[in-house]
Amino acid sequence: MEKPTMHMLSVQEKGGQTRRANQYIAAVAAAIGAVVAGTILAWSSPALPQIQPPEKKNENVTAEPLPYDPFEVYNNATNATNITAVLINQLGQPADFLLSTQESSLVSSILAIGAAISALPVGVIADKVGRRPTILMLSVPFMLNWLITIFANGAGMLIAARFFAGLSTGGICVAAPMYIGEIAETSIRGSLGAFFQLFLTVGILFTFVVGAWTHWRTLSIVSAVFPVLLVAVFWWMPETPQYLLAKNRRRDAEKALRWLRGPDAELSGELEDMQKDVDNSSRQQGGLVRMLTNRAPLMALICSLGLMFFQQFSGINAVIFYTVDIFKSAGSNIEPAIATIIVGVVQTLATYASSLLIEKAGRRILLLQSCVIMGICLIVLGTYFKLKESGASVAAVGWLPLLCLVLFIISFSMGFGPIPWMMMSELFAAEFRGTASGITVVTNWCLVFIVTLCFPIMKVSIGIYSCFWFFSGFMIACVFFVFFLIPETKGKTLSQIQTILGGK
């Protein structure tokens, strides 16, 4: 049986019960940054099709007649300016600028580059000036992104806007989970830690819903409200007690902890535990070399990077990309925009369920179910589309891909969606947390870039069924990774987690 810590005794035996409401308020306030990031990540899905040249029609597909001939426009124009001029002539009104294929690709990919650039510096800044000021500062590039997007008059401004969006998105992926992990008491740290991914999916769903029926500039104007909301709400939140103790501001740390735990909570035990962790950290010199030469921080880095690797190589991008085809295989005539909204709703609800289950079931079991179920769904999807491509009759099981899609999204959203972000802040000691979180987020965004770049090429060269099987292989390997390397952090204090990682 686990020996109770001073913090546990202070709450359970001394009668000073904590109030969790303020912890939830602070976590929600920080997670508004994740909503902003979600709107940015999803923006290109409804927006880019509106500012791309029309593609040639498939001869077998009929559509409602347009008020102009898009192929005459495209064939008679050599660039976006000429296309706009022809549209003005045909419609008698100005049209938005259009992007070439290369420009659209750059608008999409520059986000990941900006995120990879900012993640490590933001981790260092959070250690220097604090978690709260860092999150507030990130609202500036968030707002710059939307302002430039709203007034964009060409590809250059959109590319610049998306670069600023990447800087802020990569930074918030470091700072917000770090803040939430440090303000939460041990018993609800997992539930609050899942808020980042939950609010990210809320932002994505919001963009899918609004973007399906609005102009891309209108979508951008509406989305610009969220960075303002982040500042307005998060401005009133306290700094984390751990950071304040590290800066020898014990009185401020006690004041912040009192606000977070409530006026009747007994703080002495928890504050002393925090002080011991901070003192131990101050005696240890942080840095990359020491992180790589000591077992506990090295294992924490391996676990965190491994979780991010398997998150991106889970096949989530392949499944999301093929959502419309999967709906069609089930005999559905649902429009693509509605299909993506349905997937967004499922993802949000499943992530919310994860936040409720994570402190009851634990991290490892949710990760393991994610590996197993996603792996099985990928194998089934690959087999279905291989049989379909081979000419076999699959009409009788047309519902099977849709079932796999729903199970895959639920499984991902309850495991590998939120947990890697949450455990990133749980696994590292204070002296490594900023740098290690930055390294982890940089790695995540580099993997996003690689998978996004390579998946369309793989789809053409080896077929979608082989892509599904390819990602299923990583899920099989992931089962062993989680089972043998990932520690259970449910109900564990920072010092206990470090002891487990250090093999003591």
Q: pLDDT by residue (tens digit) across 3-57?
A: 444 444 334 334 456 678 899 999 999 999 999 999 999 898 888 888 877 654 4
Indicate if the pLDDT at residue 88 is higher than 70.
no
Alpha carbon distance 448, 173 (integer Å): 14
Q: What is the pLDDT of residues 89-125, one digit of tens each?
A: 433 334 467 888 788 878 888 898 899 999 999 999 9
d(CA 460, CA 98) in angstroms, rounded, equals 26
Structure confidence by residue, pLDDT tens digits, 262-308: 888 888 888 888 888 777 776 666 667 788 888 888 999 999 999 99
CA distances from 166 to 145, 347, 354, 383, 393 (A): 9, 23, 27, 37, 45
Virtual CA dihedral for 454, 411, 45, 221, nearest 10 degrees?
-140
pLDDT category, 412, cuts 50, 70, 90? very high
Q: Is 56 left (phi over 0), alpha (psi -120 to 50) or beta?
A: beta
- Closest among 203, 252, 199 to 223, alpha carbons compared: 203
User: Is the CB of residue 175 less than 8 Å from the CB of residue 137?
Assistant: no
168-181 confidence digits (pLDDT tens): 999 999 999 999 99
- Residue 335 backbone phi and psi in degrees, to 5: -65, 150
Q: Say if CB 340 and CB 323 are below 8 A apart.
A: yes
DSSP structure class, residue 466:
H
Mean pLDDT of the chain: 84
The percent of residues above 90 in pLDDT, for the chain, comes to 49
**Would you state the CATH architecture of domain 285-504?**
Up-down Bundle (1.20)
Percent share of the chain, pLDDT over 70: 86
Cβ–Cβ under 8 Å, residues 389 and 455? no
What was the pLDDT predicted at 8? 41
Give the Cα separation of 364 and 461 in Å (integer): 36
Please name which of 319, 292, 310 lies closest in space to residue 432, comparing C-alpha atoms. Answer: 292
Predicted confidence at residue 86, as pLDDT, reads 41
Using only C-alpha atoms, the chain has a radius of gyration, in whole angstroms, of 24
**How many C-beta neighbours within 10 Å does residue 386 have?**
17
Any idea which residue has 């951008």 for tokens?
220
Tens digits of residue pLDDT in 485-498: 999 998 888 888 98
Which residues, 6+ apart, have CB-to-CB distance to 258 below 8 Å?
265, 267
- Supply the pLDDT for residue 284: 65
Of residues 425 and 251, more confidence is placed in: 251
- CA distances to 53, 179, 286, 427 from 421, rounded to whole Å, are 38, 12, 22, 11
Q: Residue 493 has what pLDDT?
A: 83
More confident residue, 45 or 468: 468
Q: Mean per-residue pLDDT for 314-318?
A: 85
Asked whether the CA dihedral 457, 460, 463, 464 is positive or negative, the reply is positive
pLDDT in tens, 426-449: 898 877 888 898 999 999 989 988
- pLDDT score of 74 more than 90: no
How confident is residue 187, by pLDDT bands cut at 50, 70 and 90? confident
Give the tokens for residue 326. 């999967």
Dihedral of alpha carbons 199, 200, 202, 203, sign: positive
CA distance 34 to 39: 9
Give the model's confidence band at 58: pLDDT under 50 very low, under 70 low, under 90 confident, else very high: very low
Q: Where is pLDDT greater, at 188 or 75?
A: 188
Higher-scoring residue by pLDDT: 406, 15: 406
- For the stretch 136-173, pLDDT in tens is 999 999 999 999 999 998 889 999 999 999 999 999 99
Confidence of residue 504 (pLDDT cuts 50, 70, 90): low
Highest mean pLDDT among 28-32, 67-71, 311-315: 28-32
Alpha carbons 353 and 288: distance in angstroms, whole number: 36
Q: Which amino acid is at 195?
A: F
220-244 average pLDDT score: 96
pLDDT (average), residues 352-357: 91
Distance CA 485, CA 501 (A): 9
**370 pLDDT tier (thresholds 50, 70, 90):** very high
Nearest of 270, 273, 275 to residue 258 by alpha carbon: 270
Residue listed under structure tokens 């590319």: 159
Using alpha carbons only, give the angle 372, 187, 437 rounded to the nearest 5 degrees: 65
pLDDT score for 283: 66
* Chain position carrying tokens 């009759």: 393
Nearest to 357, CA basis, from 346, 369, 341: 369
In whole angstroms, what is the distance from residue 443 CA to residue 119 CA? Answer: 9
Residue predicted with more confidence, 337 or 476: 476
CA distances from 486 to 135, 342, 365, 378, 496 (A): 29, 32, 11, 23, 14
